[in-house]
Amino acid sequence: MKKYLIIVAALLFAAPGWSETLRVFCSGGMYPVVESLKADYEKRSGNQLTLEAAPSMGDTPQAIPNRLKRHDDADVLVMVDYAIAPLGQQVKADTHQVLAHSYIAMAVRQGRPMPDISSVAKFKQVLTEASTIAVSDSASGRYIRSEMLKKLNLGDQTAKKVVVVPATPVGEAVAQGKAPIGFQQNSELKAVKGITIVGLIPPAVQQDTLYGAVVTASSKQPQAAEEFVRYLQSDQAKTMMRDKGLTPL
């Protein structure tokens, strides 16, 4: 009888409908979306999500490439799309899906005057007059430091005012008064309390960042992981992306 019960238990755990736990590394731009979808996905699928914030790039230990290098593995990666290909054989390329467009916005501390960034000239003036400019150590911050300031013909004097905020939301630094203005993906700023989003930066200097999802090569439950990636393309997910400030594909 005891042997029979052990066999039945083993079959139950091996059954296709048995709940699985997916570990998801998600970068900031998509994190508010996935976090808000977590309960709906778990209810629909019967699976559980362990969601962890992880930058798409950068020098911090939490960055996705650094975590994978030390075999801190996940089942699904949701991250800046152009950062997926360099991961090479660490991901299953045939599961890769592009999910949404994301744009950079500017924020100030709640209650502070709203700068006018309605034109390139006015935006440039705001940057010139700011004492400190907070940016992320991921895609938007890299773009601002390496490309945007050059497009605006702003030299070293402005570049020296840029402060990189590693591994934490730029909006938090602005809310705490560490910088009068900050820049990050619109969806990331919308998730932070204590700030006011001034708006998207002018189109002439804007960066269109794509976010994507992919299953890792090390996933122990690849079928469930692929189903989650497909869920992120559902109408429910697209509605949430719009609510959080992204433009779904």
Would you say how long the chain is, in residues?
249
Q: What is the CATH number of domain 104-205?
A: 3.40.190.10
Please tell me if the domain spanning 21-101+209-248 has the same topology as the one spanning 104-205: yes
d(C-alpha 183, C-alpha 135), whole Å: 5
pLDDT of residue 19: 83
Residue 6 pLDDT > 80, yes or no?
A: no
- Interval 126-162: pLDDT, tens: 999 999 999 998 899 999 999 999 999 998 999 999 9
Q: pLDDT class for 168, splitting at 50, 70, 90?
A: confident
The distance from CA 205 to its chain's CA centroid, rounded to whole angstroms, is: 21
How many Cα neighbours within 13 Å face the side chain of 88? 4
pLDDT of residue 167: 79
Closest CA to 213 of 11, 14, 49: 49
- Interval 39-91: pLDDT, tens: 999 999 999 999 999 999 988 999 999 999 999 999 999 999 999 999 999 99
Beta-bridged to residue 214, according to DSSP, are 77
Q: pLDDT class for 17, splitting at 50, 70, 90?
A: low
Residue 1 pLDDT > 60, yes or no?
A: no
pTM across the whole model: 0.86
pLDDT of residue 129: 97
d(C-alpha 31, C-alpha 51), whole Å: 9
Residue 2 pLDDT > 80, yes or no?
A: no
* Residues 192/99, Cβ–Cβ less than 8 Å: no
Ramachandran angles phi, psi of 78, nearest 5°: -120, 115
**What is the signed CA dihedral for 93, 98, 99, 102, rounded to 10 degrees?**
130
- Interval 82-131: pLDDT, tens: 999 999 999 999 999 999 999 999 999 999 999 999 999 999 999 999 99
Sign of torsion over alpha carbons 84, 89, 94, 95? negative
Between CA 133 and CA 138, with CA 134 as vertex, the angle to 5 degrees is 130
Q: What's the CATH fold of domain 21-101+209-248?
A: D-Maltodextrin-Binding Protein; domain 2 (3.40.190)
Helix axes 222-231, 31-45, angle to 10 degrees: 120
Q: pLDDT class for 18, splitting at 50, 70, 90?
A: low
Neighbours of 63 (CB within 10 A): 23
- Interval 178-232: pLDDT, tens: 999 999 999 999 999 999 999 999 999 999 999 999 999 999 999 999 999 999 9
Domain ranges across the chain: 21-101+209-248, 104-205
pLDDT of residue 130: 97
Residue 239 pLDDT > 60, yes or no?
A: yes
d(C-alpha 168, C-alpha 173), whole Å: 8
